[in-house]
Every structure is written in structure tokens, then in C-alpha cells.
A and B are shown apart, each in its own frame.
Chain A
Amino acid sequence: AQSVSQHNHHVILSEAASLELGCNYSYGGTVNLFWYVQYPGQHLQLLLKYFSGDPLVKGIKGFEAEFIKSKFSFNLRKPSVQWSDTAEYFCAVNGDNAGNMLTFGGGTRLMVKP
């Protein structure tokens, strides 16, 4: 079975600070990896995804993530956060033997202080 861990449950940053949110997954086969964002009161939206190729993927709104296979990690980064980045961030994995189901991590609540 696949599982995802997000170690940072709550993160508070000031504007312009750099961000890195951790994500580790547990799955023995080939995986597709995703980061989703959920702004307050809204649904989940895709930030970026990794299927294959360059392990450093760039997404929307200046976010990027790096897939490190040896560490089973897919950490999310942004060099300079804005107040509007305040949201819940979810890492997700879809293993090649998981019936197309996404398994989500527990989420990280990011609060950016103006």
C-alpha cells in the first residue's frame, strides 16, 4: 500500500521568506507525484506534478518541487512567499498499482504574515 507523510503540519512565515515543505512517500514501484493547494474555503487545485524526466519540476505561482528517488521525497519549494500563499498544501502519490487512486499526505497549513 502507498502512503504519504508530510512532516510539517503548521508553518508560519513572513512575506519574502523562503519555503520548503517536506513530503515523503512509501511505495515500492513507479509513482506519479503531485502537490495540491487548497485556499481557505476552496477546493484543491494542482500546483505541480512529476511523472518522469527532470526531477526538478516547476509549477504555477513560482512553486517548484524536487523528486529525490533515493530519499522517497518530493519536497515543495518557493524562494519568496507572499501573503496570498496562505493555504493548506497537500502532497499526493499515485502508484502504478493503485487503481489510479491518489493518496494524500496529512497536509501542511501555511500562514504567511504580511
Chain B
Amino acid sequence: DTAVSQTPKYLVTQMGNDKSIKCEQNLGHDTMYWYKQDSKKFLKIMFSYNNKELIINETVPNRFSPKSPDKAHLNLHINSLELGDSAVYFCASSWEGNEAFFGQGTRLTVV
């Protein structure tokens, strides 16, 4: 069974659209994350969330919002997509500061 799974793997959409990326972890971890990896491979934390606290990287536009229906899921919603949002988005999870386990990534292309 995949530990951290994201869907879809590829997403191509037009500017201005609203889209969501889903993430599920079956590891029983208490914290989930979203990272953005740009074309230069630089990884930037977007959100960290557990059942108590949402930590938002202040540089993330408010068009991006995480939604967590339960501890095992952290979905990423993006409104009014822009060309600059094109990137690979990774979901990850961890337990109390231990190493993070990453999903396979979602390659988002905005045209």
C-alpha cells in the first residue's frame, strides 16, 4: 500500500480555473504538509497542518488553501490559477518531527 498518495499525478488546466489536489496518508501520522517544487528543483514549504494547528508560509498567496476533512487527508485547493503556479506539488506527512514521507507529486501545468 502506498504510504502517501496524491491525485492526480498530472494536471493541465487553463489560467483562471480553480483546481484541487488530493492527498491521503495511511501511516497514522499527525502532521501533513504541502510543498511546491519549482522548475529549478527548489522545494518550498507551503503549509503544515495537524489536528491542532495550521501553519501557513506567509509567502503563499491566499489563492492556495488547504482543506483537511480528517487526520489522514490534506487537500490543496487553488483558485484563479496563474501561469506561475506551474510546478510539482508534493504532499508529505510525518510524526512528531520525525522524517517526512513524500507522495509521488502532482505536476501542475497552467496554460
| Chains A and B are bound partners | yes
A residues sitting closer than 8 Å to B (CB atoms) are 32, 34, 38, 42-46, 49, 88, 90, 94, 96, 99-104, 106-107, 109
B residues sitting closer than 8 Å to A (CB atoms) are 31, 33, 35, 41-45, 48, 50, 53, 55, 90, 92, 94, 96-105
Contacts of B104 in A (CB 8 A): 42-43
8 Å CB contact of A101 from B41, B55, B98, B101: B55
Contacts of B90 in A (CB 8 A): 43-44
- State A103–B45 Cα separation when bound (angstroms): 7
Check A107 against B50 for contact (C-beta < 8 Å). no
Residue of B nearest to A94 (CB): B97
- State A43–B106 Cα separation when bound (angstroms): 10
What are 14 inter-chain pairs, A to B, with CB distance below 8 A? A32-B98, A43-B90, A43-B103, A43-B105, A96-B97, A100-B94, A100-B96, A101-B55, A102-B92, A102-B94, A104-B42, A104-B45, A106-B41, A107-B43
Check A44 against B99 for contact (C-beta < 8 Å). no
- State A14–B47 Cα separation when bound (angstroms): 39
Shortest B39–chain A CB gap in Å is 12
Contacts of A43 in B (CB 8 A): 90, 102-105
